[in-house]
Amino acid sequence: MGTLNILVGVCLIYVVFLFLIAFAAERAALEGKGGWLRSPLIYTLSLSIYCTAWTFYGAVGYAARSGLEYLTIYIGPSLVMIGWWWLLRKLVRIGRSQRITSIADLISSRYGKSNLLAVGVTVLAVIGTTPYIALQLQSVTVSFDVFSSAYGAELTEATQGSNALLVAAGLTLFTIVFGTRNLDVNERHHGVVMAVAVEAIVKLFALLAVGIFVVWGLGGGVSETLARIDASEIGQWQMRGDRWAMLIFLSGAAFLCLPRMFQVMVVENEDEDHLRTASWAFPAYLMIMSLFVVPIAVVGLDLMPAGSNPDFFVLTVPLATGNDALAMLSFIGGFSSATSMVIVAALALSTMVSNHIVMPIWLSTQSVGASVSGDVRHVVLLSRRISIGAVVFLGYLYFRLSGGGSALASMGLISFAGVAQFLPVLIGGIFWRGATRTGAFVGLTVGFLIWAYTLLLPSFGAGTLVSETMLAEGPMGMGWLRPQAFFGITGMDPLVHAVFWSILLNTMSFFIASLVGFPSPLERLQGAQFVNVFEHSSTPQSWGGSLAQTEDLMVMAQRIIGAREAQNLFEREAKRQGMSGLLPEPSPDFLQRLERELAGSVGAATAHAMIGQIVGGASVSVEDLMAVADETAQMMEYSSRLEAKSEEQARTARQLRQANEKLTLISEQKDSFLSQVSHELRTPMTSIRAFSEILRDSDRLSEDEKIKYSSIIHDEALRLTRLLDDLLDLSVLESGRVNLNLQSGSLKGILDHAVSSALTGAGEYKIRVERDSAVEDVMLNTDLDRLSQVFINLIGNAQKYCDASVPKLRIEVGRSTGALVVDFIDNGSGIPKAEQAVIFEKFSRTGEQRVKGAGLGLAICREIMTRLGGAVEYLPGQGGAAFRVTLPEEAALAAQ
C-alpha cells in the first residue's frame, strides 16, 4: 500500500509541477520574455500529442497481437511531416493569414464562411473524439488499477469510476485555467503548449527507459533481443498488404484532420519556419517512440503469464521484475500521454463548440445586436469553459457507459477513420477552386454515414446496435448493403472495407456535388484566397465602411479582445491612417484587419456576422454586385441624359444665334426702311415740287409742256398714293385688324384674273405663262380678292425680275400633305441663297435695282397668306425663282 501512496504522491507532485510550468510559461509570455517558448523545438514537441496513451500503452499490445502493423500508425504522420512542402506549409500559411481557430473554422471559412458547415464539422469532430477521450481516461484508470493490483489492493469498479472522474475533473480544471485564461487574438496558449512539450519529453524518456531496461537489462543486448524477437510468435513477417497500405494512409489522414493535431500544428504555430525543423524532428521523435515497442512486447510475451493484457506490458514488465521506480516513471509517462491529449483535444473542441455552436445561438438570441448587447468577452470565455467541461464530461460518460471493454487500439482506429472523413474536403478546399459548400456538405455527410454504418455501429459488437442478421444478410435482406461487405465484396478486412468505401464515396460525392452546383461569390473569393494563398495574402471581401460607426466597432472590439488590446489596435490603425486620436476611419482595410483580429477570438463566421451587424452590409453578395452594377447603369443613363440635354442646349443656342442674326438683320432693315420710306416719299415729292414750281412761275410754257409737266406731277402723286396705300395695307395686315371677305370661287378664275391684270401694259416683253388648266379646277372658299392680290404680286415679280432671254413662268397646282399648293416657277437666275431669308421683309429688294419698286410686295403677300391661314415661301432648287403658295385644307375642301 505504501508504494501506492507514493504513486499517488508522485502523481500529485507531477500535476503541481505541470501547473507551475504552464503558469511560468504564461507569465514569461506575458512579460515578453518568452523567446524560448517560440522555438522550433517546443513546436516539434507539442506535435507529440499525436502519441497518446494509445501509443504509450496500446502500441505494445498492438505489436504483441499483430506484429509490426503498429508501425503504420507512425509511418503515416512521418510521411506527412516529411512531405511538409506539399501540404502542411500551405495549411499553416492559410491558418495564419486567415486566422483560423480550428479545423471546423478552416472548412467553414473556405466554403464561404458557412456556419452550417462549421456546425456539422464540429458535431462530427465531437463524435469522433469522444471515444478517444474516453480511451485516455480508461488508460489512466486501468494503469492505476494495474499498479494497485500488483500490490494486492483490488479496486472496485466504483473506485475506478471515481478515479476517472477525478482525472477528468483535474484535466478540465487545467484546460480551463490555461486554455481560457485570456481570449488571445492569436488563439495561442503558451502555458498549455509548454506543459504539452514537457509531457512529450517525459513520455519519451519513460518509454526509452523501459525499452533500454528491457533490451539491455532483460534481453541481454541488441543481437540477443533480435534473436528473441525472431523466435517469438510474431517472429515472422505476416502482414496483410491492404491493411499495411490503408493504415499508413489512414494515420496520415488523421494526423492532418484530428482537431487536436490541427490545434497544435496550425493554430498554435508561432512561425512558419518552425515547420521546417519539425519536418524532420517530428519523424525522428516518432521513430524513437516506436523503436522499443517490439522488444517490450516480445519480452512481455515471454515474461508475463499467458492471458495477461499486453496493452500494459510497459507497466507490468518493470513491476514483475521488481523495478518499482521504473514502473512509476512508466506510469507517469502514460499519464502524461493521456493528459496532454485530453487537454489539447478539449481545448480544440471547446473552441469549435463555442465559436460555431454556442456563440451563434447566443448572438441570435440577442435581438439588439452585437454593438449594444452585454459583454461578449465574458460570454465567449464562459461558453469556452462550459464547452471544455462538456467535452471532457462526454468522454467520461462514454467511458462509463461503454465499460471500457474493447481493446485500446481498435477504438483509436475507429476514431481515426471518423476524422479522416474531413480529408477530401480539406485537401479539395485548399487545392481545388471548384470545390463548393454543397459538395463539402454532401461529401462529409456521405462519408460519415458510411463510417458510422460500416465501422462505428458494428464496433459495439454484433447484436447491440447492429443485429447479427443485419451484419450477415444486410438491412432488410439487401445483401449488397451488408455493413462489412458492400456490393457483395466479402473477405475485406472490416477496417479497410470501411475506410475504403467511406473515403471513396465521400470523395466522389464531394467531387460530383461540387461539379454540379454553383458556388456563391463569397465561396469563390474564399476559394481563390485559399488555393492561391502564396500569391496573395489579403482577405477577399471588403466591407463598405462608410456607414460603420467606428465607436460602435470599438465598443464591440473591447468586449471581445479586451479594452487595452482594442484601444491599442485602434490607435495603431489611426496612426497608420495618419490621424490623431483613437478612432480611425472605418476603411475597408481596417475593417478587414479588425475582422481577422476578432476571428482569432470568436471564429471567422461569428466575427464576420458581428462586424456585419454594425457595418450594415453582410458581405459581397450577388445582390450587392447587382446593386453596384445598377448604380453604374443609372450613372451612365444620367450622363447620357445630360449629354442629350447639353446637345439640346447647343441646338437652342444655335437657334438663338440664328434668331439674333435675323434680328440684327431686321433691325438693319428697319433702319433702311425708314431711310427708304423717306427716300421713296422724297423723290416724288421733289419732282412734284419742282414741276409745280415751274408751272407756277413760268408763263411762257407751251400747252404740250404744261400737259407734260402736270402729267408728271400726276404720275408722281399716283406713285405716292400707291406707296402710301401699300404702307397702310401692310400696317393693317400686320396689326391684324384686317377683315376677310370670304367668298367661293374657282382657282382657275382667280389665276386667269391675276395673270391678265399682272401682265397688262407689259408690252412686248410679256412673260410667257404655262398653266395646266385641268388641275386648276378647284373650288376655293377664302378671301378671293386678297388671294388674287398675292398671285398678281408673284406674277408681277416674275415679269419684273426674270432675267432669262425668253422668260417663262410655270404655274403648278398640286397637293402636299392635304394642303393645296400653287407654285410659281420662272426660268430666271433665281434669288441668291443669302437673300432668300430676307426677301419677305419690308423694303427688301434683290441685288441690282433694275426695276423700281418699294419692296413691300412680298411682305404684304406673306401677311395676307398668314391671315388666310396659309403661307407663301421661297421654293429653293427649282432652277429659277420659285414661290409656293400654300392654302389651308379647309379653304379648298369647304368648297368641294
Partner 1 sequence: MSAKHNIPFLERQSYRRRRLIDTIRMLPVIGAVLWAVPLLWRQSEDSGTVLTSDAIIYIFLVWLLLVVGGGWLAHSLKRSNAEEQERGR
Per-position x/- string for 8-47, each x denoting binding to partner 1 as judged by CB under 8 A, each - no binding: ----------------------------------------
In the list 34, 58, 61, 67, the residue contacting partner 1 (rule: CB under 8 A) is 67
| Closest of 448, 482, 464, 451 to residue 402, by C-alpha | 464
245 binds partner 1 (CB under 8 A): yes
Q: Judging by DSSP bridges, how do beta strands 768-771 and 808-816 pair with one another?
A: parallel
User: Cell triple for residue 331?
Assistant: 506510469
The CB-of-225 to partner 1 minimum distance in angstroms stands at 9
Q: Which residue lies nearer to partner 1 by CB, 285 or 441? A: 285
Q: Which residue lies nearer to partner 1 by CB, 208 or 239? A: 239
Binding segment (CB under 8 A) for partner 1, from list 238-246, 347-355, 525-533, 591-599:
238-246
884 alpha carbon, distance to own chain's centre: 69
Q: Which residue lies nearer to partner 1 by CB, 227 or 871? A: 227
68 binds partner 1 (CB under 8 A): yes
Q: Where are the beta strands (DSSP E) in 387-528?
A: 481-482, 485-486
291 binds partner 1 (CB under 8 A): yes
Residues 6+ apart with CB under 8 A from 386: 358
280 binds partner 1 (CB under 8 A): yes
In the list 85, 480, 534, 765, the residue contacting partner 1 (rule: CB under 8 A) is 85
C-alpha–C-alpha distance, residues 658 and 14, integer Å: 105
In the list 36, 157, 162, 230, the residue contacting partner 1 (rule: CB under 8 A) is 230
In the list 91, 124, 195, 248, the residue contacting partner 1 (rule: CB under 8 A) is 248
The CB-of-252 to partner 1 minimum distance in angstroms stands at 10
C-alpha–C-alpha distance, residues 256 and 428, integer Å: 13
The CB-of-247 to partner 1 minimum distance in angstroms stands at 11
Q: What is the dihedral of CA 229, 233, 235, 238, to 10 degrees?
A: -150
The sign one gets for the Cα dihedral 327, 329, 333, 339 is positive
Residues 708, 713, 717: CA angle, nearest 5 degrees:
145
674 binds partner 1 (CB under 8 A): no
Question: Which 3 state secondary structure label does DSSP give 519?
Answer: coil
C-alpha–C-alpha distance, residues 718 and 729, integer Å: 16
C-alpha–C-alpha distance, residues 268 and 380, integer Å: 19
Distances (CA, A) of 155 to 161, 316, 588, 823: 10, 17, 64, 133
User: Cell triple for residue 890?
Assistant: 379647309
78 binds partner 1 (CB under 8 A): yes
Q: Where are the beta strands (DSSP E) in 577-731?
A: none
Beta carbons of 664 and 656 less than 8 angstroms apart: no
Q: What is the dihedral of CA 361, 366, 368, 369, to 10 degrees?
A: -40
Q: Which residue lies nearer to partner 1 by CB, 218 or 882? A: 218
284 binds partner 1 (CB under 8 A): yes
211 binds partner 1 (CB under 8 A): no
| Secondary structure element (H or E) that encloses residue 161, with its range | helix 157-179
Binding segment (CB under 8 A) for partner 1, from list 77-85, 120-128, 368-376, 471-479:
77-85
294 binds partner 1 (CB under 8 A): yes
The CB-of-283 to partner 1 minimum distance in angstroms stands at 5
Beta carbons of 111 and 125 less than 8 angstroms apart: no
239 binds partner 1 (CB under 8 A): yes
User: Cell triple for residue 200?
Assistant: 512529450
In the list 238, 664, 667, 678, the residue contacting partner 1 (rule: CB under 8 A) is 238
The CB-of-414 to partner 1 minimum distance in angstroms stands at 24
The site that binds partner 1 (CB under 8 A) totals a number of residues, namely 39
In the list 34, 58, 95, 283, the residue contacting partner 1 (rule: CB under 8 A) is 283
- Cβ of 324: how many Cβ atoms within 10 Å? 16
In the list 15, 227, 386, 712, the residue contacting partner 1 (rule: CB under 8 A) is 227
The CB-of-235 to partner 1 minimum distance in angstroms stands at 5
In the list 39, 182, 186, 277, the residue contacting partner 1 (rule: CB under 8 A) is 277
Q: Which residue lies nearer to partner 1 by CB, 284 or 656? A: 284
Q: Where are the alpha helices (DSSP H) in 603-621?
A: 604-615
- Cβ of 185: how many Cβ atoms within 10 Å? 20
The CB-of-230 to partner 1 minimum distance in angstroms stands at 5
C-alpha–C-alpha distance, residues 341 and 335, integer Å: 10
The CB-of-275 to partner 1 minimum distance in angstroms stands at 9
234 binds partner 1 (CB under 8 A): yes
In the list 276, 662, 753, 867, the residue contacting partner 1 (rule: CB under 8 A) is 276
Beta carbons of 225 and 211 less than 8 angstroms apart: no
In the list 235, 434, 612, 853, the residue contacting partner 1 (rule: CB under 8 A) is 235
- Cβ of 98: how many Cβ atoms within 10 Å? 22
The CB-of-241 to partner 1 minimum distance in angstroms stands at 4
In the list 9, 83, 220, 369, the residue contacting partner 1 (rule: CB under 8 A) is 83
Q: What is the dihedral of CA 411, 413, 415, 417, to 10 degrees?
A: -150
The CB-of-242 to partner 1 minimum distance in angstroms stands at 9
- Residue 826 pairs with which residues in a beta bridge? 809
Site for partner 1 in 311-340 (CB under 8 A): none
Site for partner 1 in 496-515 (CB under 8 A): none
Where do contacts with partner 1 occur on this chain (CB under 8 A)?
A: 67-68, 71, 75, 78-86, 226-227, 229-230, 232, 234-239, 241, 244-245, 248, 273, 276-277, 279-281, 283-284, 287, 291, 294
